[in-house]
Chain A
Amino acid sequence: MTPLLQVEDLSVRFTTHQGVNDAVKGVSFEVGHGEVLGIVGESASGKSVTAMSIPDLLPTPPAEIIGGRILFDERDVRKMSSLERRQLRGREIGVVFQDPMTALNSVRRVGVQLMEGMRYHLDLDRTEAHRRAVDLLEQVGIPSPAERMKAYPHELSGGMRQRVMIASALACSPKLLIADEPTTALDVTVQAQIVDMVRSITADRDMSVIWITHDLSLLSDFADRTLVMYGGRVMEEAPTATLFRHAEHPYTAGLLASIVDTDTRRDQQLVSIPGTPPIHGAALDGCPFSPRCSYGVEKCPSVHPPLERVGDGHKVACWVRPFASKAPNGG
């Protein structure tokens, strides 16, 4: 079966008065039907830009897709007409942002906003759209959904707004849900509620998910596969369990080691990655992580290593692969 989404060699450039920034450079990946793909990265890793280029949600200018192909359900997104793209966004791809207020209109009632997409894309009448909107609010865990239809976004808590946003993304039963750090601004107990809810709804409907986060731990029991990005490039891609056990890229290994959680030992200094992430994307021709990498060789800063298959579904972009010998599935 062809994957639902195929991204091939995607490059995105931002041109501003401050100069040119290659935010995403040569990124390729796939998302299967019903699969949950996690994209993890720090600031300026290109994770959001990559995801937002799929439903054509990048502001152009300053952004421009300068290369690559995006195939959604075997259709080339970049060759679509603007009408086709609008249908793609509303019907086939649902998007959830970190801040729900970027998508919700603060002066319109929640219910009206929920019904709008369904009436446009699914051609439903008022009564039917209203019924489905109430259903949706209930599914995403909003108490007294019929009354909440009349609420304005500011009358809801952050967690509730994010639930409304998820309801609106799911309204037209999309094939793919793109969630860009939807729980980052929320408390951990609310985050747990929301991850739990999204997991069960998307699994029930066999929906594919791209979940973008800076928190690798969040993906451990959620994502089937995880893509690790840094400085606009893919560093490593693997089934999530493999990534946690046998990360091969020095960046992934460093990121895993620097996670401070309740299993971290108190009597030891924390492992940290020296230096700071690049402010812009791929500024180097070579590996963007090379200035902070302790395993680098001479060609690292000048020649970018290809993303090579090293095991079952496991790909790594590193000339050195210092941790490769530890991996039983390597080579």
Chain B
Amino acid sequence: MVGRAVSRRDYEEPLLRVEDLVKHYPSSGGGRRNSQAVRAVDGVSLQVETAETFALVGESGCGKSTLGRLVVRLEEPTSGTVQFMGSDLTNLGRRQLRPHRRDMQVVFQNPHSSLNPRMTVRQIVEEPLVVHDIDDRIGRVDRLLELVGLPPAVADRHAHEFSGGQRQRIGLARALSTEPTFLLLDEPVSALDVSIQAQILNLLVELRDELSLTYFFISHDLGVVRYLADRVAVMYLGRIVELASVFDLFASPAHPYTEALMSAVPSRDPEAGSQRIILKGELPSAASPPSGCRFRTRCPMARPECATDEPELRLVEGDHLVACHFAEEMMEKHR
């Protein structure tokens, strides 16, 4: 059995340290000279502690999936660093990266496209073990299937025979096969029916508690995030606009975007609709974000200085980080 890159506690906390990460894509204009790069992720720093669930929320185009892919190095950053368990992943080659891959696994949103339909469940779950030369495979697939709530009998069937919820369980069994410490979960329940979502969320909580897993959880669903996460970062146009513990964030959102996002979530309470903040306008292009604060073109609080001074992500209270000039005013409102 090939050893792990780093033994599990030979590094300084935190487990994951992301610093000033940037990912620019050449714009769809192709090779044209003046075409501007799409700034998918534009200067993001964050840390994830061992065994915490860190959630990244935001709407389509905010860069949350790109950030997730950069963190596990499915993409190369334009600049900035990703340190995982004390090692800088940004400068490692494929071979050097491999031992780290064992420790960081991924579960994707769409359980219909992320599993190879020609492979049996056993082959799917076993594949990472083969890739990482992990010998002790006998009985392991059965144990993994049991762990995610599937009977061993499913091992010889093909993934396409299963429903969305069951496929997501298979995806989890596969991700857990290398005994990772860190799981990137990219919208793992958004494609599932409502009655199935809760099953998978319960399973994620069980697994996290049982195996002390660290989750990097990407979602657009604030209800799910509030249920599962310990800390939450809110992204808008490639930047983190607010980062706080789940309690602080939901009790007193201090960025106008976070507040609008929360109020837009449909609620069981018909009264909630009357207080809904309807954002004006559309998400600006990530190739030419507005000057100053990126949210200002849609912000109900925007003032002249927002167009010129870009607000830094700063500590406002306790460990509550906000990138808004008027964060204190917002907080006052919730008291």
Contacts and interface: CB of A to CB of B under 8 A. Distances in A.
Interface of A: 42-43, 143, 157-160, 187-193, 196, 214-218, 220-222, 240-241, 244, 254-256, 258-264, 266, 269-274, 276-277, 279, 292
A262 B262 contact: yes
Contacts of A216: 194, 268
B282 A160 contact: yes
A220 B199 contact: no
Contact of B199 (A193, A263, A266, A272): A272
B137 to A, nearest CB: 29
Contacts of A188: 59, 220, 222, 261, 264-266
14 contacts: A158-B60, A159-B282, A192-B263, A196-B276, A215-B194, A220-B268, A260-B198, A260-B223, A261-B267, A263-B267, A264-B226, A264-B227, A270-B201, A272-B197
Given A217-B265, A258-B194, A258-B198, 15 more contacts: A42-B194, A143-B281, A158-B60, A188-B222, A191-B264, A255-B195, A258-B197, A259-B194, A260-B221, A261-B223, A262-B262, A263-B269, A269-B202, A272-B197, A276-B166
Given A261-B265, A270-B227, A43 B198 contact: no
Contacts of B270: 220-221, 240-241, 244
Interface of B: 59-60, 163, 165-166, 193-199, 201-202, 205, 220-224, 226-227, 246, 250, 260-274, 276, 278-279, 281-283
Contacts of A255: 194-195
Contact of A192 (B194, B195, B222, B264): B264
A221 B201 contact: no
Secondary structure at chain A's binding surface: helix, strand, loop or mixed?
Answer: loop
Nearest to A187: B59
A260 B220 CA distance: 13
Contact of B193 (A42, A240, A256, A266): A42
A268 to B, nearest CB: 9
Contacts of B265: 188, 217, 261-262
A244 B268 CA distance: 7
Contacts of A157: 282-283
A221 B278 contact: no
B266 A220 contact: yes
A188 B199 CA distance: 23
Nearest to A220: B270
Contact of B273 (A160, A221, A273): A221
A263 B282 CA distance: 28
B1 to A, nearest CB: 36
Contacts of B59: 187-190
Contacts of A191: 264, 266
Given A276-B196, A277-B193, A189 B264 contact: yes
